Amino acid sequence: MRLYLLKSPKRVAAAAYAHIKEILTSVSHPILGLATGSTPLRLYKNMVDDYLAGGISFRDTTTINLDEYVGLSGTDVQSYRYFMNKNLFMHIDIDIKNTHIPNGLARDLAKECLRYTELVDKNRPDVQILGIGSNGHIAFNEPGTPIESTTHVVNLDQSTIDDNSRFFDTIDLVPRQAITMGISDILKAKQIILLATGTSKAMALTRMLTKHFSADCPASFLQKHPHVTIYADESATHLLDKSGV
């Protein structure tokens, strides 16, 4: 695992984008694993800006997102499909048919989970972007999720519902369930880039980096992956003993 400490969220996004661009431009049909949440927003803006400036094309790129709320349609402003369309896909030249997000409205959720795991099997991301939850989750793999997990339906932790309530008018509107790639799906990516910004991530990041991996901190399972790069700002790393970094 490689950790880059950067001064600000802006520098985190710039460094992560430089890394991702190198991958996107060196592979003929890149597969990009994407995440939602507030952390990757600057990164997506950098992608859009670079595309608009003629620096990159996404014509041959396929994307696979990590997760989606159960019960929301893609036109619901709170859905992750809507988030991705609004913050990235509608501003770049990607073919929307090549953008994949779990279907939170599927009538048979078990079948949808199976379909998604197979999709990841057939389309291993060249790079997977991840955020980290304040409770150490990655995607919606909450504490307690085993490393062998594949795509599944999850009941969200109260801490995740609290964290995500900032995007909703009231906390009661936050969905209680999501469909998420499992840990084993995430570990299939050829490379993983994790972004962590802000003090609320400091405890989870420290736990992930400094203690043996275990299900109480799903992000710690990334220790098992051979190619993980973390871009983090000063606030997210303030609890780390940097003498050994």
**For this structure, is 142 an active site residue?**
yes
- CB-closest chain residue to ligand PGA: 37
**For this structure, is 126 an active site residue?**
no
Other Cβ atoms closer than 10 A to 179 = 26
- Which one of the listed residues 46, 65, 98, 135 is annotated catalytic? 135
The nearest distance, CB 231 to ligand PGA, in angstroms, is: 13
Contact residues for ligand PGA (CB under 6 A)? 37-39, 131-133
- Which one of the listed residues 65, 98, 112, 137 is annotated catalytic? 137
**For this structure, is 137 an active site residue?**
yes
**For this structure, is 67 an active site residue?**
yes
> In Å, how far are 24, 26, 125, 239, 240 from 243, measured between CA atoms?
34, 35, 34, 12, 9
The nearest distance, CB 131 to ligand PGA, in angstroms, is: 3
Our CB check for ligand PGA shows the closer of 56 and 204 to be 204
Our CB check for ligand PGA shows the closer of 132 and 192 to be 132
Please say whether the beta carbons of 202 and 236 come within 8 A.
Answer: yes
Listed in sequence order, the residues at least 6 apart from 215 whose beta carbon sits closer than 8 Å to its beta carbon are 143, 144, 145, 146, 147, 221
SS3 65: strand
Exposure class string for 199-220: b at 16+ Cβ within 10 A, else e: eebbebbbbbbeeeeebebbbb
Our CB check for ligand PGA shows the closer of 39 and 99 to be 39
Our CB check for ligand PGA shows the closer of 11 and 114 to be 11
Q: Which residues are catalytic?
A: 67, 135, 137, 142
